[in-house]
Amino acid sequence: MPTRVPRIAPSEITPPEVYFNRRTLIAAALASGASALLPAAEAPLPASGALSYTANPRYSVSEQPNKLQEIAAYNNFYEFGTDKESPSENAHSLRTRPWSVQVYGEAEVRGTFHLEDLLEGQALEERIYRFRCVEAWSLVVPWVGFPLSSLLARFKPTSRAKFVEFTTLYDPQQMPGQRSRVLNWPYLEGLRMDEATHPLTLMVVGLYGRVLPNQDGAPLRLIVPWKYGFKSIKSIVKIGFSAAQPRNTWNVSAPGEYGFYANVNPQVDHPRWSQATERRIGAPFLAARRPTLPFNGYAEQVASLYQGMDLRRNF
């Protein structure tokens, strides 16, 4: 006779929010002396050092990556200062352990989750992406991360979830730039759901095969390679699902200069400079500037997302 599969009562099924936060339960059990019953789990992401990952040539460009020093020493991260060198000078004050992310909004699974639980089971991969800043400079960066879509799926977005919104840590003691009023803090960003779940959209935890430096957005940042760099929010502490388009910091602060979509478009100039060409960081100062590529060179993969849209109006 065929073996009967035992029926599991719904009351015995672990809810997702409990499963994702099981390290909290383990820690509590250890504190109460129950270590023999609940051994501590290994963290999938070390506090520093080398990461375990595989290279993904399918999504990588063939261009030579910038040197680590060029990537780590030249940043826009106003939470640590407005000069390009300020983040590398000041970000040592950021504590990236422990770290948790609050999930809210139009999703079945909501709550606050430890970083280690969110990363568990995620297969890390290296992707070499072009990175384009709105100030007309560019880099080629070997990021290490995993598709954002694989993380969002865990929270089971409802049919009302049309957008995903992200929030950076707000802590002026750790982030001295937040003591100024240069921007409205905390830093906010958002994507349409189809943008967030596109295979190119990467949740990043590393750079050059090692844990992400603080000044580059540790411990968890976004990379959306066909958009200007300010869309790739750093040091994420909140992820929300919404039916309405969320606010994003630069669009709120300067709506005439920074749009919600921020797709790289050489035909749409910034009011104070042209976006038609770019300068690669690390190239000789007198080297010829290179033409800016539509969608930063990823048009073949993402242009269909914006079919029928006026990309000059929706900049």
Q: What is the pLDDT of residues 105-142, one digit of tens each?
A: 999 999 999 999 999 999 999 999 999 999 999 999 99
Q: Is residue 18 part of a domain?
A: no
Per DSSP bridges, beta strands 163-168 and 137-147 are unpaired
* 24 belongs to a structural domain: no
pLDDT per residue as tens digits for the range 51-79: 999 999 999 999 999 999 999 999 999 99
* Domain assignment present for 87: yes
In this prediction, residue 285 carries a pLDDT of 79
Domain membership of residue 212 (yes or no) is yes
User: In this structure, is residue 215 part of a structural domain?
Assistant: yes
User: How far, in whole angstroms, is CA 184 from its chain's centroid?
Assistant: 20
Asked whether residue 12 is assigned to any structural domain, the reply reads no
Nearest C-alpha neighbor of 296 from the set 55, 57, 61, 58: 61
Q: Are 240 and 111 in contact (CB under 8 A)?
A: no
Tokens of 214: 């603080």
Query: What DSSP string describes 253-311?
Result: H-TTT--SS-B--TTS-BTTB--SEEEETTS-TTSPPEEPPGGGGTHHHHGGGGTT--T
List the CATH number of the domain containing 158. 3.90.420.10
Is 248 a domain residue? yes
Residue 185 included in any domain: yes
CB-CB contact of 134 with 230 (8 Å): yes
> Which range marks the domain in which residue 187 is found?
42-130+144-253
pLDDT tens per residue across span 207-239: 999 999 999 999 999 999 999 999 999 999 999
User: Tell me, what's the pLDDT at 291?
Assistant: 96
Residues counted in the chain: 315
Q: How many structural domains is the chain composed of? A: 1
